[in-house]
Amino acid sequence: MERRNCPMLKTYILYDEEEICQAIGKLNTKKAPDIYGITVEHIKFGGDTLIKAVTAIINHICSTASVPDSLKLGILTPIFKNKGILSEAKNYRGITVLPVIGKILECLLRDLIRDFIKILQNRLQRGFTPTVSPLYSALILLESILESLDQKTSIFIALLDAKSAFDVVNHNSLYRKLFLSGVGGTLWLLIRQLSTNALTSIKWDGLTSEPFLIQQGVRQGGILSTELYKLYVNDVLDQLEDNGLGKYIGDIYCGAPTCADDIALVANSPTELQVMISTVENYSKHEKYVLQPTKSVVLKNKGSNSSASSLQDFSINEQAIIQPDSAVHLGIKHNANFKEDHHLSHK
């Protein structure tokens, strides 16, 4: 993969007070304080003198391309996923509260890398994209189902689950993908600095642990995290589309509607679906994250015009993927017999 050229690549980054105020205005308020007891409200309503100081701090960080370790110390709170047993750790998601000054810096850098990512981002990635609802991903899947029902052709859908997807991102691979996407100079160095020597403490039941080093993953709660994760998984979506694997509606590719780490694979034949699953599986092995066959599902329906002789089993890592009677995709329940879901559309 050759490095992409981008005309907006900067060798230096400098912000004025107005740009700092705009970045502060994008941060969510009424959130928990950071490890220093500072909230967004402290900065937002701190007055002109404080804004001048914050601007000076941000510009010093950008001019030296060095982020102080004090701005990389987060507090992680386990949040229950509202499913499963309360006493099992796997049923919790860790949300990290980062220092407010660091969040302002991330907000500024996010605006810069979005210019790169919007050029590269696969059109089937609908998660965390400005002006685009994640439900567009659900719409693509729904339209694929309806088209197959209209044509009376088979449709096979795999809903894949990656174990702790955000938490296992390989940093070196991410830095390489950033560079190849066109991100370089001070911007690349700053993004790399944000995860170098980053520390996290666990907060639970009023107690806070000693900090420990973060050596992988993008932190849930970090402003840059969703943009970086989209870039991290973008190659596999491109592989599927470039190889023509999966469902088409006319000449429009609809084979892998995706919302962040929520990937659905859609095909008209069982063989093609397994090839798609294996493609994602191979990518996960290369990038060192794990697909979970016990949490991934396949829904399938054989159309009356189908020449498929059998409805085969599917596997990830040589383990069978479960084939339930129904499954939920982005909050929408689909039955294995899709006609039960969508009979109203065909009356």
pLDDT for the residue 12? 77
pLDDT for the residue 88? 87
How far is the C-alpha of 274 from the C-alpha of 271, rounded, in Å? Answer: 5
Is 90 exceeded by the pLDDT of residue 87? Answer: no
CA distances from 250 to 2, 64, 81, 215 (A): 32, 52, 39, 45
Report which secondary-structure segment, H or E, holds 94. Answer: strand 92-97
Residue-wise pLDDT tens digits, 214-236: 999 999 999 999 999 999 999 99
pLDDT > 90 fraction of the chain, expressed in percent and rounded = 78
- For the chain, the domains span 17-120+166-226, 134-163+230-303+313-335
Nearest to 1 by CA among 260, 242, 304, 165: 242
325: DSSP letter: S
Does 3.30.70 match the CATH number of domain 134-163+230-303+313-335?
A: yes
Torsion region of 61: left, alpha or beta (phi above 0 gives left; psi -120 to 50 gives alpha): alpha
pLDDT for the residue 143? 96
* Contact by Cβ (8 Å): 267, 301: no
Nearest to 262 by CA among 143, 168, 166: 166
pLDDT for the residue 347? 42
* Contact by Cβ (8 Å): 247, 146: no
- Per DSSP, the three-state class of 329 is strand
Is 60 exceeded by the pLDDT of residue 68? Answer: yes
Residue-wise pLDDT tens digits, 280-299: 999 999 998 999 998 999 99
Mean pLDDT (whole number) for 313-335: 93
CA distances from 74 to 194, 200, 224 (A): 12, 5, 14
Mean pLDDT (whole number) for 247-256: 96
